């Protein structure tokens, strides 16, 4: 009975927490997309905006919680729908396949990010005062946004993939770049890290990369458990520290 009561309280609290999120339907040609937007705690015209790119399974409770927290910090936020209705992964295998498609076809990924950015602006964010943040697959996406020089002040990657076809031309990167990385992440090779850092130097980017001890992949995802041997696990210290590092970054780059 006690456990049922706690579950009810938790679900009720989550309902309240997410009650300010508004589902927003938009499209990419014939593909229907469905994101979520939320206004800043004290709404007004031209608030700084944060675009959120979710992990490989698409919009989840974690990305919604992040949007709520950003609203509480007085940012207008929008969660991008990358896959589109009818294409959401139902398991890890499907998520790997679908996210892999966008990593390879990066121009399509960039297009979906741009479409979500437009929705954030419609929501009321200042078009010239926006940062994009992303988790895992979304962390890869923010780097693609930076490479495309979209109109962002900066990008923040939480345990994102850094892999990139090294034969791609390296453009000058204008948005500031912050990469928050688990020091023991087995899914990002030392070669990928070296190639990424060389790319940032060649792109003349203003970039930072912060490592968190004893952290593997998905260190902000509490649902990932706490077994580092699985390669993906929650790390409370890394989660809290990376959030604070992001807040400092936002304070620096946004007006």
255 residues of the chain, pLDDT tens digit each: 444 434 333 433 443 344 489 999 999 999 999 999 999 998 777 899 999 999 999 999 999 999 999 999 999 999 999 999 999 999 999 999 999 999 999 999 999 999 999 999 999 999 999 999 999 999 999 999 999 999 999 999 999 999 999 899 999 999 999 999 999 999 999 999 999 999 999 999 999 999 999 999 999 999 999 999 999 999 999 999 999 999 999 999 998
Q: Write the CA distances from 213 to 21, 77, 139, 193, 220, integer angstroms.
A: 34, 30, 19, 16, 14
What span, in angstroms and rounded, lies between the C-alpha atoms of 60 and 53?
11
CA-to-CA distance for 72 and 126, rounded, in angstroms? 17
- How many other CB atoms are found less than 10 A from the CB of residue 161? 22
Fold of 19-253: Rossmann fold (3.40.50)
User: In Å, how far are 26, 33, 92, 115, 119 from 29, measured between CA atoms?
Assistant: 10, 10, 27, 11, 15
Provide the 8-state DSSP code for 223: G
The answer to whether 37 and 119 are in contact (CB under 8 A) is yes
Q: What's the whole-model pTM score?
A: 0.91
């Amino acid at each position: 009975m006690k456990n049922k009561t706690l579950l009810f309280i938790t679900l009720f609290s989550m309902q309240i927490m997410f009650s300010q999120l508004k589902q927003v339907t938009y499209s990419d040609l014939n593909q229907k997309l469905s994101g979520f937007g939320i206004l800043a705690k004290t709404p007004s015209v031209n608030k700084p905006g944060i675009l959120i790119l979710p992990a490989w399974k698409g919009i989840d409770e974690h990305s919604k919680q992040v949007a709520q927290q950003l609203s509480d910090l007085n940012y207008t936020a929008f969660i991008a729908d990358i896959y589109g209705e009818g294409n959401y992964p139902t398991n890890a295998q499907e998520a790997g396949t679908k996210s892999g498609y966008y990593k390879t076809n990066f121009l399509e990924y960039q297009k979906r990010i741009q479409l979500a950015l437009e929705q954030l602006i419609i929501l009321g964010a200042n078009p010239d005062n926006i940062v994009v943040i992303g988790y895992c697959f979304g962390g890869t996406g923010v780097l693609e946004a930076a490479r495309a020089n979209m109109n962002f002040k900066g990008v923040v990657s939480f345990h994102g993939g850094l892999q990139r076809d090294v034969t791609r031309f390296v453009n000058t990167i204008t948005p500031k770049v912050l990469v928050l990385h688990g020091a023991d992440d087995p899914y990002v090779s030392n070669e990928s890290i070296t190639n990424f850092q060389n790319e940032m130097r060649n792109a003349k980017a203003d970039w930072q990369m912060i490592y968190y001890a004893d952290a593997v992949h998905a260190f902000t995802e509490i649902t990932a458990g706490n077994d580092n041997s699985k390669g993906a696990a929650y790390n409370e210290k890394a989660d809290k520290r990376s959030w604070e590092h992001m807040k400092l970054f936002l304070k620096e780059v946004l007006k």
